[in-house]
Structure 1
Amino acid sequence: MFTGIVEEVGLVADVRRDDDVVVLTVRADLAGEVRHGESVAVNGCCLTAVVDGEDAQPLTLELVPETMKRTSLGVVAAGSTVNLERAVPADGRLDGHIVQGHVDGVGTVISRTPGERSEEVRFGLPAELSRYVVEKGSICVDGVSLTVAAVYPDGFGVALIPTTLADTTLGARGPGDPVNLEVDVIAKYVERMTAGYLQGPGSGQEGAAR
């Protein structure tokens, strides 16, 4: 479980294939605090750290074909930067919102409108995710917990504060760039649990949510 509060921006040192597994190597200060088997959110995607021996530098993570197919990590190359967050402890502070690290879809940066210090950014998203996005609700973009400022037929907009622009990769994302999206998990569970009731009599699913 994560919160969408980025701890550090890491530098991808190497990307290589080992049969059907892609091995991602990332240089980051927090690598020294990560143990073998621990979860790390990389651009919002929950990955497992692989530590050979006591030295965790650099951070090594393995990506299977399913991860490559469903996230934007397939475009990451040596020299790319990625948002990193370790799993939050059960007694930790929930600063952002509940983030699983399970990417729901890949969106795209549509436009950026700079202000004096802040910036408004508009993202496109897959049509099947639009029903989970509401104004003033939460959404995770490349591992960053954000508040939805506006909802559009083809996507949504956010307002980025100077800290987010400086301390995450979102400050460098340009129009056309892909981003990982995770919608509010609570909305998905509510939809699933009420689906049988919302179908109405005669649908054959009246008892699905009981």
Structure 2
Amino acid sequence: MFSGIVEEAAIVTALRNDKGNLHITMHCTFADQLKIDQSVSHNGVCLTVVDVNPVEKKYTVTAIAETLIKSNLGLLQTGDKVNLERSMTVDKLLDGHLVQGHVDQTAVCKAIKEADGSWYFTFAYDTEKGNITVEKGSVSVNGVSLTVVNSQPGSFDVAIIPFTYDVTNFHQFKVGTVVNLEFDVIGKYIQKIVNAQLENWMKEFKSKQ
């Protein structure tokens, strides 16, 4: 479990394909603190550390084929930056929102607008998967906990302050950049319960006709 508060944007130093898997090696300042089998969020995707090089401050994780299909990790190139967050502990403040590290789908950056030192980013996503946002609700974009503004069917905006812009990989975004989305887990449960109830009501209504 994560909070969506990115600790660092690590640099991809090596990529190695292994059948359907992709081994991703990154350089980050806290690599010497990581342990094998530890969970770390990478652009919002929970991956397990499989190798650590504390001297060079590098470590490696492995993404399976399904992860590569559902996320933007399969698009990574050496030199790219990846948002990192280590998993939460019970004594850690929840500064963002509950993020599972299970990406729901990807989205595409459609617009970037500067606004007096901050930025507004517009993202569009496929509505066929049934995911939704709500105004002032929470959403994880590349692992960053953000507040939704201008919520529309299939699109939304987020406002990025200078600190977030600099610390995360948002400063590398361009129009057309593919990002990972994880929608609010509480909202997803509510949506599922409501949809199931509506389906039951419709069945009852049709049976009485």
1:12-45 per-residue CA deviation (whole Å, 9 max, x = no partner) reads 0000112222100000012111111111100111
Unaligned runs of 5+ in 1: 205-210
Unaligned runs of 5+ in 2: 205-209
The corresponding residue for 1:106 is 106
1:57-89 per-residue CA deviation (whole Å, 9 max, x = no partner) reads 311000110111110111101111110000011
Mapped to 1, the partners of 2:82 and 2:54 lie a distance apart of 24
**Cα contact 2:10–2:82 (8 A) shared by 1:** yes
Change (3 A) 1:130 1:159: farther
Q: Which AA in structure 2 matches 1:98? A: L
Give runs of aligned pairs for residues 2-81 of structure 1, distance below 5 A. 2-51=2-51, 57-81=57-81
The corresponding residue for 1:83 is 83
Say yes or no: does 1:203 pair with 2:203. Answer: yes
The corresponding residue for 2:191 is 191
- SS in structure 2 of the partner of residue 95 of structure 1: coil
When the two chains are superposed, the root-mean-square deviation of aligned CA atoms in Å is: 1.8
Shift of 1:151: 1.3
Q: Which AA in structure 1 matches 2:106? A: V
- SS in structure 2 of the partner of residue 61 of structure 1: strand
Mapped to 2, the partners of 1:148 and 1:202 lie a distance apart of 31
Q: How many residues align?
A: 204
Mapped to 2, the partners of 1:54 and 1:11 lie a distance apart of 15
Q: Which AA in structure 2 matches 1:151? A: S
8-17 or 122-131, which moves further after superposition? Answer: 122-131
Mapped to 1, the partners of 2:52 and 2:117 lie a distance apart of 43
Q: Which AA in structure 2 matches 1:165? A: Y
**Cα contact 2:53–2:59 (8 A) shared by 1:** no
Higher strand share: 2
150-159 or 82-91, which moves further after superposition? Answer: 150-159
1:162-207 per-residue CA deviation (whole Å, 9 max, x = no partner) reads 1111111112201001000000011111222333322244627xxx
Mapped to 2, the partners of 1:70 and 1:134 lie a distance apart of 23
